[in-house]
Chain A
């Protein structure tokens, strides 16, 4: 079917407008795509709306989750663009035109309006006990390094949180299947061998080899944000965010979930570079902060919806919890066994290890103790500093 110029022009306009509407609705569409959509539209029978829809969808959508938005918008738009625009305006009140508070500064808003549960300032009473200023003496610092996170005053808490961000946690590295030329290795690097041989008339005097590349293990962090953990959760999140940024962020994977009564995916928040912004985003995402713990159910959610976050049994799983679980122990046992089976190491970071004669007697703790490959302490800065070494030790066993 050959279209007249005027109609083609109208169609192109319509598609451009539609592409922009899609973009406003949150579907990533660039102008090259819109141009391609114009081409595609001319290849199908325009008298069939479903064909046009399918054609535009194949070009403009590239994620499964965008298909629903696309179809609704397509139906509305190609019936009446004006209706679609109104619809969009209702759906996205601040989509366009408002230049005002688009960029809110997390630190400012955090300071002005502390998040309901998550900001959880330490009790006021403790505030006047000790006052620290920024220039600490060496002995103050030494004391703070060994101070229990659970027994910090307000000022100390802020300082310790700052300190925690400076502790490094090098994630163990393992050999990948990918290789690169090197001096040692099981396989020969033939291109290199040949290049040398060419200079010696085909004599193999020097053998180049292929070495396996190393990569940090993929990390899966599960952080308990229930009531009993609230003093630790924020600190540990700040620590984990800063500590794993360099090692894992670029080359490897790092997936983070918070769990209380249910599972919250914090991975998007952890992609923010700034730790304060991360904490603000995490605070907004977690709506069951300081509630109960149902670890078993949270892990079941993890298995059902996010099993692909575990990478080929290479993932190092860190469960950060005190093990005071209110859920069903049998379910927890089953889910932990599954998790253990699908990861390289399942480590339990337990702040309650601060007590000398701690025994995992709570039901949840007993299960965790049985299923985890190792149990490590995380109740003060000194312990966090030792964490990398402890993890390495457990990895070797």
Chain B
């Protein structure tokens, strides 16, 4: 059905693990289906749960190029799809004029046919030559490809296209994406319709700063990415921070897990993401910490939290509470 090299969900999970990404089975299933059904996959979830990382790992696992489109407010199709190289086009036109000074003026004292090899056939009237000149400058070689077009034209097996933080772009841009996501084709007025050589594996992410349009969602598979469970987080920390001891990694995973859990979730404005736990573990290793204690925790709270109130809220007392072994 498609060019995916994975025969089963397990094979995909393992390949992602080799690429450094630890996916739970639900996520792996969603990715597997996106590959098989050749549908874009929309990932939503809190910042720092590994949405962008998934696309990177997937590109690694598939051995495909990763093309990334970072969305922002006011993003327009010329930054996302293509643009013409206007400077080169201008030079081209000047060159044509220098070699055939009458081209633009319409006086018909033209050089014999073929003299302008490669520049098209000069016509008889001025109007015609102007149109020719226009045709000539809209050639493929003056086209500057941006991620979306690059993804369509990537040779087989195709690229992995990451459309990151789509919720940051505005609604007109979302509407512009509809044709692309549905048909994997775009229309360029000067060149016609460009279809995908090989369907790109498309991952969209959203932090839900606003609701995406239903039309976009309808074209995608959907997965809500939660924070990882402890075992997964432990695996991630161990893989990313090999210098950390087993005991420290486990403590980090457990501490962060408890920070995000119910009783504490409301005490902080933003729970730390996976990237924060990894950074934290790295910092602890750099500080030669072997075991977490309340003092170290509150000293390094600035790595876990990025907001002043949250850093202040993680007091030594609270840290001591969180570090207590769980009663099972």
Contacts and interface: CB of A to CB of B under 8 A. Distances in A.
A272 interface: no
Given A44-B33, A179-B76, A194-B84, 15 more contacts: A32-B218, A40-B33, A43-B33, A53-B26, A57-B30, A62-B217, A62-B218, A64-B44, A64-B224, A178-B76, A178-B172, A201-B105, A201-B133, A202-B94, A202-B104
Contact of A201 (B93, B218, B223): B93
B93 A198 contact: yes
Given A54-B30, A178-B170, A199 B74 contact: no
A312 B104 contact: no
Interface string B118-145: 0000000000001101100100000000
A276 interface: no
B103 interface: yes
B104 A203 contact: yes
Q: How large is the interface on B (under 10, 10 to 19, 20 to 34, 35 or more residues)?
A: 35 or more
B37 A36 contact: yes
Nearest to B104: A201
B220 A62 contact: yes
A39 interface: yes
Interface of A: 28, 30, 32-33, 36, 39-40, 43-45, 50-51, 53-55, 57-59, 61-64, 67, 176-179, 190-191, 193-195, 197-204, 308, 312
B223 A58 contact: yes
B224 A197 contact: no
B210 interface: yes
B42 interface: yes
A202 B93 contact: yes
A43 B170 contact: no
A50 B92 CA distance: 61
B37 A40 contact: yes
A43 B36 contact: yes
Contacts of B103: 201
A198 B218 contact: no
Among A63, A178, A201, the one with the most B-chain Cβ atoms within 10 Å of its Cβ is A201
Nearest to A178: B74
A202 B33 contact: no
Contacts of B33: 40, 43-44, 55, 58-59
Given A62-B42, A202-B104, A177 B222 contact: no
Contact of A194 (B26, B30, B137): B137
A57 B210 CA distance: 22
A312 B41 CA distance: 27
B314 to A, nearest CB: 19
A97 B96 CA distance: 75
A62 B26 CA distance: 15
B218 A33 contact: yes
20 contacts: A30-B218, A44-B9, A50-B25, A55-B33, A62-B214, A62-B218, A62-B220, A64-B224, A176-B74, A176-B170, A178-B172, A194-B86, A194-B90, A194-B134, A194-B137, A198-B131, A201-B94, A201-B105, A308-B208, A312-B73
Contacts of A312: 73
Contacts of B73: 177, 312
A59 B221 contact: yes
Contacts of B262: none
B173 to A, nearest CB: 9
Contacts of A55: 29-30, 33
Interface string B134-165: 10010000000000000000000000000000
Interface in B191-235: 208-210, 214, 217-218, 220-224
Contacts of A51: 9, 25, 29
Contact of A197 (B26, B29, B39, B90): B90
Nearest to A307: B209
A195 B134 contact: yes
Interface of B: 8-9, 25-26, 29-30, 32-34, 36-37, 39, 41-42, 44, 73-74, 76, 83-84, 86, 89-90, 92-94, 96-97, 103-105, 130-131, 133-134, 137, 170, 172, 208-210, 214, 217-218, 220-224
A49 to B, nearest CB: 12
B221 A58 contact: yes
A44 B42 CA distance: 19
Nearest to B133: A198
B120 to A, nearest CB: 12
Given A177-B74, A198-B130, A191 B84 contact: yes
A40 to B, nearest CB: 5
Contact of A64 (B9, B26, B41, B208): B208
Contacts of B39: 36
B134 A198 contact: yes
A6 B96 CA distance: 70
Nearest to A200: B104
A59 B221 CA distance: 5
Contacts of A62: 42, 214, 217-218, 220, 222
A54 B29 contact: yes
A199 B73 CA distance: 35
B96 A201 contact: yes
Contacts of B83: 190
Contacts of B76: 178-179
B222 A58 contact: yes
Nearest to A191: B84
B210 A308 contact: yes
Contacts of A53: 26
Contacts of B41: 58
Contacts of A194: 84, 86, 89-90, 134, 137
A123 B122 CA distance: 87
A217 to B, nearest CB: 14
Nearest to A190: B86
A58 B34 CA distance: 9
Contacts of B29: 44, 51, 54-55, 58
A308 B209 contact: yes
A98 B214 CA distance: 29
B214 to A, nearest CB: 7
Nearest to B28: A54
A190 B218 contact: no
Contacts of B217: 62-63
Contacts of A39: 37
Nearest to A215: B170
Nearest to B189: A191
Contacts of B34: 58
Given A55-B33, A176-B74, A194-B137, A61 B222 contact: yes
